[in-house]
Amino acid sequence: MIKINNLSKIFRTDLIETHALRQINLQVNEGEFAALTGPSGSGKSTLLNVLGTLESFDEGDYLLDGRSVKGLSDRELSALRNEKIGFIFQGFNLIKDFSLFDNIELPLRYRGFSSAERKRRVEHALETVGLAARRDYHPSQLSGGQQQRVAIARAIAGEPRILLADEPTGNLDSLMARQVMELLEKINQQGCTILMVTHDPDQARRANRHIQIVDGQLNDATLYEPLIAAGA
Amino acid sequence: MEAIIHNLKLSWFSIKRAPLPYALTLLILSLGLGTFFSNATLYYWMNRDPIPEKSQTLFMARINSLPGDCTDCLEPSRVMSYMDMQKMSGSGITSAEAAMFSSDAYAKTLENQQATPAKVALRITQRDFFALFNVPFLYGEAWPDNKARMEVVISKNTAVKFFGRIDVVGQDMLLDDQLFKVIGVLDDWSMLPRLYDVNGRRSAEPTEDIYMPLETAYDLAIQSNTQNSFTDVDWDGNIATYPHMARTNFANMLQFWVQLDGPEKIQQYQQFLKNMVADEKAAGRHPRPEGNRLDNILDVQKAMRATNDQLDAFALVASLFLLVCVVNASHLSLNRYMANQYEFSLRRALGASRWQLQGQILADVFVSSALAFVAALLFARLGLWTINALLPGTRALASWDWQMLAVMAVFVSLVSYLVTLYPALKTSFSPLNQQLKQ
Amino acid sequence: MSVHLIFKSLLRRKVVTALLLLQLAVTLGLVVNSLLLAGAARQLVEQPTGLELEQLLTLWVKPTSAAMRLEPALSEVINRQLAAVRQMPGVDSVAYANQIPLRQGGSNWNIFEQDRQDETNIESVPYYNSSESIFQVLGIELITGRLLTELDRGTTNIVMTEKLSRQLFAEQNPIGKVTNNGVVVGVVSDFFSQRYASDAFYGQILMAPLHRAEQGYHLIVRVAQGQSDTVRKQLTEVIRNAEPQMDIGTVLRMDENRDEVFRSEIGLATLLAVLSGLMLLVAMISAYSHAHFHALQMQKEVGIKRALGASKARVLLDVLSESWLTTAIGAGFGILVCYGLNISLAKVISIPAVPVWLPLLTMVLLLLCVTLATWYPARIATRISPATATKTL
């Protein structure tokens, strides 16, 4: 599903070079639910962004679904993101002027689905996250947990191969966090690969794989191995 | 005081932080204001009351006395004949009355006979002209009656121009080779708009150089240089017969002004005209329908169709332009304030009250007003210069006095406040938590 | 982005959107009416005059001595001036006249066919009291009858323009007809006399005795092609040398007289054109800063869209299409404004009605301006890194 070889990412300013990712090798298989942990500034988000093709990388290679993303044009990368990747952010990142329906529909529009198909998918996604009755609400009318569920609905409406979640419960209280986690697990059981950045040891434990990142380097923890509390 | 300076300083910082949006807002606002001011200036001079102390009592009288049996000729001629003037004078109702027309001549002094004569503007009129329009005398006085006499009243500038001094009463001068004695010198006097003679749309022209008795002008065959209308005149062109012909034919060129003190006098004079026309009709004259007109001095431009339509049209458009600019500027200023919203909220979170923030906003308005005022005046000057170059007869209407400047300053402040008001309210009164969370 | 979604987002920013729409609408209304006025002024100026404007110079003069304004001194002075001008190289011919063509107003007589005053009377018909060279100078052609010669001086024979003759006598032969101003001996081609006469192309020419020149008189000079500048430079001097006691006006070429006649219209059209330019500029500034501000404000939104798979081109199109839609709606209201303004303006000045295609054309112009102004901020918006934009503070 995801395969990266010797991937490095360097942030350059006039004065300093920061190696955000150093020669990372990682393979994520279809159907996995992987948790990515690490202290602040360790490069988790950068890695997630690179995997999501939101950021480019400097060295190495990244194969998504067997295809290298290197040298793809902006248009091709955008299409790739649109079709194969779903994003869930810590800050939900819903468009506040849009209704729930419009928010979820947006990536489907980019995909070029017919309006009937879009409607079917949006409704299905809303049902999955349990918000079907509120399709015409605006994000500001919802609680944080509900907003994140909308974001999840938006991410899965296009039936992506992989879901990238960046601290999806970071802004939520524990009850809501649990609901979101249960939702993600449900989605994973339906066959969607999930890679989730988290600070929460409990959540990391719930994933079926745990990857640690420290100073831009990976430490692939084994399944079910007790978590060593990260610095954060 | 210290708070004000603090606020001004903050205003300045916020300008410096984003100079381009601020400059654009200011540019747009002052463009609109400048255009509006340039037009308003012209409009003000064109439509002001030049003689507010007695404008309510001054009227131009006309009767529809032209020959020719024409039942649908209801509008009297723009200019009257000598015979009309005689009939409309001497009612005993008016406090002052004078007939007049404009002309020109070539003048020189006796001492300087060899010089090339200089062209002067003449007002041919009667004794009461000076009383009618409150014309101030510096030396001498007007003629004692309306009889022909080789005597003129001249303006102060004319005295200086021809004699090099101002007390020239008793001096002689040559007008078109005729010898005249100066019996009066006027003090500085102007009338803008020059409503006593708006024929030919010349209301923005300066007052005349030399004033000559009407009877003398008829004797010398001096004619109007704006409008002469001859109707059914049989004249061989012989100059010797002109004085008689012009006094006994419909050789129309006069405007007749009366002063009527109060509504009663106005009504009486109207009745007088009515009776006179009835008598005329009974005597077999005045064949056209009665069409007496008594136009107040403030309505005379309209009555004589001497308004500047282009200026009116431009006024409409300039107001629209101002509207667009104000709308635009408030839009830009809204953007600007929204960009500063975070700072506003932070300061409120730190304990600034809404009214303290209003103080900040007022400081902003003050700074913008000052800058916009200066820029608007510059644009207005540019606009006036352009309009003067493009539209005829507007050159005399471009000056500002202190009063106008003060009104413009107040107007700029109001508009600046208006432009800032909504955005400022929106930013300082919207819920705190929403903004800080974003 | 779909129109429906743009609408939604516009509706959520009611005040800003209303301000923007109002401004666009007024701009369109003003630009349309300015274009109309400019077109009308141009048509006025460029209408055929029946005269060869570039080859005619005109000059007003008036003797500064009263005695010289009377006969016989007057004729003597005029003849001296005419002879002097005729001598000048580049001069084809010269005539004097009480007035020149292509003016707003001037000296007019009414005219009617003798004994048929009620049916045929025409008020305000310009008359030209001149010399026999006037026909050659103005370059007007004989249509029927004969031209006036010096033998006609002092008689009541007149020549009139074709349009006037047709109005007075319809299809009848005008030659020999008797009018209140004299007997018609010839009809000549039409030329533009006075704008505010009964008709601009009415004119009557005669050779009456001069008597006096209280209002001065005009000299009209026909110059050889391309000679007008040379002749013009020397003309004043030649006239002054012929008679020093003379007030001499400015030498004007006939096309300058024409521009003077339509000066109000040309002036207003130019003013409005300048103002329209300013309005478009203001609209562009507004579109620019709106887009710029929103590019910053909507960084996050753009970032989200990019993360969800919108390409740069798509985001660019989004920003632009919002501009286009707003402009189009504003311009839609603008069509109402433009008709409203047209009606208001028609109350004070003469302005043609709005043809249907003009607002549409102006809308395209407006769209073009707005696109131009939105382009740069829109480009900036697409450069926002989605990774940064979607990051939580």
pLDDT at B351: 67
Tell if the CB–CB gap between C209 and B237 is shorter than 8 Å.
yes
SS3 B203: coil
Provide φ and ψ at B220, rounded to 5°. Answer: -90, 5
- Identify all chain C residues contacting B340, using CB atoms and an 8 Å cutoff: none
- Identify all chain C residues contacting B323, using CB atoms and an 8 Å cutoff: 22, 26
**Whether pLDDT at A229 is above 60:** no
Of the candidates B256, B257, B235, which has an alpha carbon nearest to the alpha carbon of residue B246?
Answer: B235
Task: State the sign of the Cα–Cα–Cα–Cα dihedral C190, C194, C195, C198.
Answer: negative
Distance CA C84, CA C77 (A): 11
Please provide the DSSP assignment of A185-206 as one string: HHHHHTT-EEEEE-S-HHHHHH
% helix, strand, coil for chain A, step of 5? 40, 25, 35
Tell if the CB–CB gap between C30 and B320 is shorter than 8 Å.
yes
Mean pLDDT for the stretch of residues B383-407? 87
- Identify all chain B residues contacting C275, using CB atoms and an 8 Å cutoff: 35, 317-318, 321
Q: How far apart are the first and last CA of chain A?
A: 29
Residues 6 or more apart in contact with residue C348 via CB below 8 angstroms: B309, B312, B313, B316
**Whether pLDDT at B297 is above 60:** yes
CB B143 within 8 A of CB B161: no
| Cis peptide, bond prior to residue B50, ω within 30 of zero | no
Distance CA C351, CA B51 (A): 35
pLDDT for C237-260, tens place per residue?
999 999 998 999 999 999 999 998
Q: Give the lowest-confidence range in A64-68, B160-164, B344-348, C333-337.
A: B344-348
Amino acid at position C217, single letter? Y
Q: Which of B:229-248 have CB within 8 Å of C?
A: 237-239
| B119 contact C CB<8A | yes
pLDDT at A221: 52
Distance CA A178, CA A190 (A): 18
Distance CA C138, CA C148 (A): 14
Distance CA C29, CA C332 (A): 10
pLDDT at B155: 96
pLDDT for B248-284, tens place per residue?
999 999 999 999 999 999 999 999 999 999 999 999 8
pLDDT at C223: 95
Mean pLDDT for the stretch of residues B1-29? 80
- ipTM of the complex as predicted: 0.81
Amino acid at position B316, single letter? L
Tell me which DSSP letter residue C82 carries.
H
Provide φ and ψ at A210, rounded to 5°. Answer: -130, 120
- Identify all chain C residues contacting A111, using CB atoms and an 8 Å cutoff: 309
CB C34 within 8 A of CB C269: yes
Residue A46 distance to chain C (closest CA, Å): 8
Tell if the CB–CB gap between A75 and C313 is shorter than 8 Å.
yes
Pairing of strands B118-125, B210-213: parallel
Given a contact as 3+ CB pairs under 8 Å, which chains touch C?
A, B
The burial class, CB within 10 Å (0-12 / 13-18 / 19+), for C363 is buried
Amino acid at position A104, single letter? I
| Cis peptide, bond prior to residue C209, ω within 30 of zero | no
Whether residue A230 lies inside any domain: the answer is no
Distance CA B63, CA B287 (A): 12
Whether residue A231 lies inside any domain: the answer is no
More confident residue, C157 or A232: C157
Distance CA B80, CA B242 (A): 17
pLDDT at A209: 87
Which residue of B221, B225, B310 is in closest CB contact with C264? Answer: B310
Q: Which of C:304-323 have CB within 8 Å of A?
A: 304-314
Tell if the CB–CB gap between A107 and C308 is shorter than 8 Å.
yes
- Identify all chain B residues contacting C15, using CB atoms and an 8 Å cutoff: 334, 422, 426
pLDDT at A232: 34
Tell if the CB–CB gap between A109 and C2 is shorter than 8 Å.
yes
| B28 contact C CB<8A | yes
Distance CA B422, CA A56 (A): 44
Residues 6 or more apart in contact with residue A130 via CB below 8 angstroms: A149
Structure tokens at C52: 């060869």
CA-to-CA dists, residue C3 to A96, C294, C318, angstroms:
17, 18, 10
Structure tokens at C295: 């590019």
* Residue of A97, A108, A140, A169 for testing the chain C interface, max C β-carbons within 10 Å: A97
CB C165 within 8 A of CB C205: no
SS3 B266: helix
Given a contact as 3+ CB pairs under 8 Å, which chains touch A?
C
Provide φ and ψ at B99, rounded to 5°. Answer: -95, 155
Domain hosting residue A45, numbered range: 2-221
Q: Could you identify the residue written with the tokens 């079910």? A: A224
Amino acid at position B139, single letter? Y
Q: Over chain C (393 residues), what is each successive 10-residue block's mean pLDDT? A: 72 76 88 89 90 93 90 91 94 94 88 88 91 93 93 90 93 92 94 91 89 88 92 94 92 93 88 89 84 72 83 84 87 91 89 90 90 84 75 54
pTM: 0.79
How far is Cα of residue C307 from the mean position of the Cα atoms in its chain? 58
Residues 6 or more apart in contact with residue A190 via CB below 8 angstroms: none
Q: Give the lowest-confidence range in A159-163, B333-337, C307-311, C326-330.
A: B333-337
% helix, strand, coil for chain C, step of 5? 55, 15, 25
Report domain extents, chain B: 2-49+308-437, 64-291
Whether residue A25 lies inside any domain: the answer is yes
Tell me which DSSP letter residue C185 carries.
E
CB A154 within 8 A of CB A106: yes
Tell if the CB–CB gap between C209 and B313 is shorter than 8 Å.
no
| B227 contact C CB<8A | no
| C212 contact B CB<8A | yes
| B392 contact C CB<8A | yes
Average pLDDT, chain A: 84
Of the candidates C97, C115, C98, C116, which has an alpha carbon nearest to the alpha carbon of residue C107?
Answer: C98
Share of chain B above pLDDT 90, in %: 55
Q: Which helix (H) or strand (E) holds B139?
A: strand B137-140
pLDDT at B171: 93
Residues 6 or more apart in contact with residue C372 via CB below 8 angstroms: C284
Whether residue A30 lies inside any domain: the answer is yes
CB B3 within 8 A of CB B359: yes
Structure tokens at B122: 């003449």
CA-to-CA dists, residue B268 to B84, B96, B154, B298, angstroms:
18, 15, 35, 20
pLDDT for B142-170, tens place per residue?
999 999 999 999 999 999 999 999 999 99
A220 confidence band (pLDDT: 50, 70, 90): low
CB B143 within 8 A of CB B213: yes
- CATH code, domain carrying A97: 3.40.50.300
